[in-house]
Amino acid sequence: MKKIIYLFLAVTLWSCSGDSETEVPFEPTVTSFNFEERMPQNMQTEAPIVYYQVMAMQGQMNAVGAFMTDTELLNNSVNYSRNNSDRSYGEFSVDYSYDLIGNKYQFIYTITYQGAVYYTIEGWQMADGSAGSWASTVDFDTLGMGMENIPVYTTEVSWSYHATGLHMEMSFDFGDTSQVFYEMSMSNDGSGDYTYTQNGDLTYSASWNANGTGQWTNHMTSPPIVTYW
């Protein structure tokens, strides 16, 4: 599965490459997430499993930025307008469009293979970065090449900032094989918590205090194993 996911990421990043000389009147900007600066400094060494699970979520959250700010594709597009572009790479075609409606930036990014939709990612973000959401779908069956029996892979992410911190949710659906759901809150004082659910069953959870103490729970055992730091 990892090799297949790397395949569609490689195609996507390839489609984003190029040099830009044309200026676009409106250039989308997307919130980048730095969860590490919100966590107590000791967690990387004293609670590494929690630290690296949070960093994995950060990586997933930031990955969408390559799509939501794809001005290089716009500026090098064969068919270009202010907020829409399309370009072809062999049997792959990439279409990117966006719009700023009031104080909300919306976008959709589509990759087709031999005329059939292979990958889509669609989302929105408040212009001030206070909230956003995006969803992606990968249809491996479109590629053929022995991938016909791989289920459609979907991802959904949402986040919002509030007076006391950040809340985010992230889900991965691998069809009949696996469904994964993350939910995390990080407060401005450095405390936070998250849960990790797989196929509807709570698998892992963690919570930590502003002073760097906390606990991580493995819910796959009976009774659950709690580790404190």
Predicted local distance difference test score (pLDDT) of residue 193: 98
Q: Which secondary-structure segment (H or E) carries 136?
A: strand 131-138
pLDDT at position 1, please? 52
In a domain, 83, yes or no: yes
pLDDT reported for residue 100: 87
Query: Tens place of pLDDT for every residue, the chain, 229 residues?
Result: 544 444 444 444 444 444 444 444 555 666 789 999 999 999 999 999 999 999 999 988 887 666 655 555 444 444 444 567 677 778 888 888 888 888 898 888 898 998 899 999 998 999 888 999 999 999 988 888 777 788 888 999 999 999 999 999 999 998 888 999 999 999 999 999 999 999 999 999 999 999 999 999 999 999 999 999 9
Given this model, what pLDDT does residue 3 score?
45
Q: Which DSSP string do the residues of 33-81 spell out, in sequence order?
A: --SGGGS-TTHHHHSHHHHHHHHHHHHHHHHTHHHHT-HHHHHT-SEEE
| 27 assigned to some structural domain | no
CB 228 within 8 Å of CB 214: yes
Query: Does 37 map to a domain?
Result: no
Secondary structure (3-state) at 188: coil
Indicate the residue type of 206: A
pLDDT at 143: 86
- Residues of the domain holding 76: 2-15+42-228
Indicate the number of domains in the chain.
1
Q: Tell me the three state secondary structure of residue 4.
A: helix
pTM, entire model: 0.76
| Domain-located, residue 140 | yes
d(CA 172, CA 179): 6
Task: Answer whether residue 118 is part of any domain.
Answer: yes
Q: Is residue 25 part of a domain?
A: no
C-alpha distance from residue 169 to each of 45, 113, 138, 183, 184 (Å): 26, 30, 20, 4, 7
What pLDDT shows up at residue 14? 44
pLDDT at 47: 96
Task: Say if CB 118 and CB 143 are below 8 A apart.
Answer: yes
26 domain residue, yes or no: no
36 falls within a domain? no
Collapsing DSSP to helix, strand or coil, 229 comes out as coil
